[in-house]
């Protein structure tokens, strides 16, 4: 897509942003979706595509990857323009009340309203000190595909939920799984830790990966702990050490920020900048609960209020989807 005009721009292609794109189409709005990640799905795609999610209404259990696929199918009925791998850099309010958002590469999207659904903002994995130079050569910070590690010796580094979840998910697929954690106490949920300890995963605590060796790709790791130094085979290292989050350029858009990372909104999901709404984890208000299921409702609220802002003759309540004429798939 080159420079474009749309009724609505959604910033963030995570689950909430994808649902906003669907709902905007349902309201008859032309929409573009911008995300700095190369794939749609936000944190779900980047961090836990294979994990089951249990609190999505209507789904007793759904994998992250399948949830994103369903949301994409739902949104694509209305043909939103996806601009992926592009960070929204600048926001300018024009004299006629429209808004222009420019991406880091210079793409300009002219729109009449914006919904920021950027989750926690731009998130960057905390690096593995010993892994310098090994990224994409056996070292990774996420697991896009479990099957890619079939038959491998895998070392997972970390003590949080992601580390435990990846280790448990890889256990039946990999040849061996070792989890290395520098402490004895885990940050993960107690239930996950109990499952980990009852599994065949080798858990090495009070230890760190201090060296990575190999030719073209990772072949072995050096683990230093209370009992000294050991060397173990490894064709894959998953560094699940957490991440840092940053609102990035959004801070320069004149939007009020709370807690150094959230955007306060009112009951219409409006931010402090006219025409700029927000939905999902990035929002803040009294009683806020940061769940995907909550974000879906916020997205619908933001879109409906944006629709009225764009066209004051529109009704805030859109009617029920069951009353609408079927849209071709």
Known binding positions for FAD: 35, 43, 48, 88, 123, 281, 322
* Rounded-to-10 torsion of CA 296, 301, 302, 306: 140
The stretches of 62-212 forming alpha helices (DSSP H) are: 64-76, 161-170, 190-198
- Show binding-site residues: 35, 43, 48, 88, 123, 281, 322
Q: Quick check: helix, strand or coil at residue 131?
A: helix
Q: Report which of 7, 269, 251 is spatially closest to residue 113, judged by C-alpha positions.
A: 7
312 alpha carbon, distance to own chain's centre: 33
Q: Report which of 210, 235, 209, 230 is spatially closest to residue 220, judged by C-alpha positions.
A: 235
Q: Report which of 283, 221, 297, 311 is spatially closest to residue 56, judged by C-alpha positions.
A: 297
Where do the DSSP E strands lie in 117-266?
Answer: 122-125, 139-140, 153-157, 176-181, 202-205, 207-214, 218-225, 228-233, 236-239, 243-246, 263-264
* Rounded-to-10 torsion of CA 149, 15, 161, 235: 20
The stretches of the chain forming alpha helices (DSSP H) are: 15-26, 42-47, 64-76, 161-170, 190-198, 292-310
Q: Which residues contact 167 (CB under 8 A, 6 or more apart)?
A: 156, 177, 179, 196, 199, 201
Q: Quick check: helix, strand or coil at residue 78?
A: coil
Calpha distance 282→269 (Å, rounded): 11
Calpha distance 117→15 (Å, rounded): 9
State the greatest distance between any 2 C-alpha atoms of the chain, in Å, as a whole number: 73
């Amino acid at each position: 897509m080159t420079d474009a005009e749309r009724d609505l721009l959604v910033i963030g292609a995570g689950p909430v942003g994808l649902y906003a794109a669907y709902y905007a189409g349902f309201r008859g709005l032309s929409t573009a979706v911008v995300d700095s990640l190369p794939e749609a799905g936000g944190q779900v795609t980047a961090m836990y595509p294979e994990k089951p999610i249990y609190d999505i209404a209507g789904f007793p259990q759904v994998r992250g990857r399948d949830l994103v696929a369903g949301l994409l199918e739902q949104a694509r009925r209305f043909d939103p323009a996806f601009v992926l791998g592009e960070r929204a850099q600048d926001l300018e309010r024009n004299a006629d009340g429209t808004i222009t958002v420019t991406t880091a590469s210079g793409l300009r999207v002219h729109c009449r309203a914006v919904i920021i659904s950027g989750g926690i903002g731009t998130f960057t994995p905390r690096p593995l000190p010993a892994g310098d130079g090994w990224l994409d050569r056996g070292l990774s910070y996420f697991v896009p595909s479990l099957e890619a590690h079939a038959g491998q010796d895998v070392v997972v580094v970390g003590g949080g939920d992601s580390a435990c979840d990846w280790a448990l998910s890889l256990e039946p697929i990999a040849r061996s799984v070792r989890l290395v954690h520098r402490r004895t106490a885990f940050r993960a949920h107690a239930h996950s830790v109990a499952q980990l300890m009852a599994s065949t995963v080798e858990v090495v605590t009070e230890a760190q990966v201090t060296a990575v060796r190999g030719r073209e790709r990772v072949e072995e790791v050096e683990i230093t702990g209370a009992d000294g130094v050991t060397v173990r085979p490894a064709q894959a290292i998953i560094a699940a050490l957490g991440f840092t989050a940053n609102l990035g350029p959004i801070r320069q858009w004149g939007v009020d920020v709370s807690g150094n990372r959230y955007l306060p909104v009112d009951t219409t999901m409006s931010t402090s900048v006219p025409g700029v709404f927000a939905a999902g984890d990035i929002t803040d208000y009294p009683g806020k609960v940061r769940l995907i299921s909550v974000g879906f409702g916020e997205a619908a609220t933001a879109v409906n209020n944006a629709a009225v802002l764009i066209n004051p003759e529109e009704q805030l309540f859109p009617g029920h989807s069951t009353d609408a004429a079927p849209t071709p798939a």
